Structure 1
Amino acid sequence: MTANPNIERAARAIAAAVVHGTSGDPALEAAQQLDKLGLLTQSTDPFSTPGRNRPAPSPAAVAALDQCRRAKGVADTTRAQIDGMPGEPDVSAVGGEVRIVVHPESLADWKQWMHALGVGDARADSTGAAMTVRCTYGGVRARLVGYGVPALYGERLDYVGRRTAARP
């Protein structure tokens, strides 16, 4: 005796397709009838089949999932908090980290972003096209990416250099 309550329904559907089928392929008719009754479902989880035991997740996997959930929550609340900030912000949560991508038009805009995130004098890495600052925001890892910031710093250095050279 099986524990699956659908066995009897499936047997009746197969018998009806074999005995009362109208096409030359009773197996196909049986399968279509089982599908119509919802007895042929695709399971995306191989451990959900009866008789299979799901292994317990590792502590590292549980911690990573928790970190991803917290980052997603911080990203969702950050979207509302940064409304009106300069530089067309785009906020997302990726790999347990909040990523804020901006396109500041001036160094003042960039400094405003750094102040809003509490970054202060954090070390930034330049890729040539963007400046990336890693920090902690809302209790999770965060990354502020400013596209065009290295060029803004370059313009500032050129301006200061010209001003200094023009002095007698």
Structure 2
Amino acid sequence: MTNPNIERAARAIAAAVVHGTTGDPALEAAQQLDELGLLKQSTDPFSVPGKNRPAPSPAAVAALDQCRRAKSVADTARAQADGMPGKPDVSAAGGEVQFVVHPRSLADWKQWMHALGVGDARADSTGVSMTVRCKVGGVRARLVGIGVPALYGEQLADLGRRTAVRP
């Protein structure tokens, strides 16, 4: 398949080289091609003649929808988190919303868990932070509490001291 614009482009280049009025025939040729609309940039690689856009897979459509919903939930959650302890970092990536919080006490941590409807979900500790997975607004979410393991450690140490003092 031959591009029908090749002949028009060749004539424009020849005219710029032969009849050009400036000392830069290449620039004149490029300007002439642009004026003829032959240098228009396409933002879609599949819009080139002869290329067909493949239909997106159902999995790709579902992933895009999940990412859009996660972004929407994250945007809404940022506004709703104003009254919560600390300043959370709320983000969305990969179809999941992430809340990173810095609770000052276990009461703050439990308030976050209650606000997100976590309940008695299992948490994973890295030693520095604790991560709880849940769903917020029908979207997968992750609550990351920086310093929470240390808060639990302090609580256990206080409990140990109180029980050791009793006769």
Q: TM-score range with shorter-chain normalisation?
A: 0.7 to 0.9
User: What TM-score do you get using the length of structure 2 for normalisation?
Assistant: 0.86
One-letter amino acid matched to 1:147: I
One-letter amino acid matched to 1:61: A
% identical equivalent positions: 85
**In the aligned structure 1, how far is the partner of 2:146 from the partner of 2:37?**
52
One-letter amino acid matched to 2:151: L
**In the aligned structure 1, how far is the partner of 2:138 from the partner of 2:65?**
12
User: What TM-score do you get using the length of structure 1 for normalisation?
Assistant: 0.85
1:29 is matched with 28
1:49 is matched with 48
**In the aligned structure 2, how far is the partner of 1:163 from the partner of 1:38?**
83
**In the aligned structure 2, how far is the partner of 1:36 from the partner of 1:84?**
58
**In the aligned structure 2, how far is the partner of 1:93 from the partner of 1:115?**
20
Alpha-carbon offset, residue 92 of structure 1: 0.7
Change (3 A) 1:57 1:20: same
Alpha-carbon offset, residue 47 of structure 1: 1.1
Extract unaligned runs of 5+ from structure 1.
Answer: none
1:143 is matched with 142
One-letter amino acid matched to 2:158: Y
**Pair 1:121-2:120 in alignment:** yes
One-letter amino acid matched to 1:77: T
Runs of 4+ in 1 over 6 A off after TM superposition: 6-9
Aligned residues: 165
User: What is the DSSP-based 3-state SS (H/G/I as helix, E as strand, rest coil) of the residue aligned with 2:133?
Assistant: strand
Change (3 A) 1:112 1:52: same
- Supply the RMSD in Å over aligned alpha carbons: 2.5
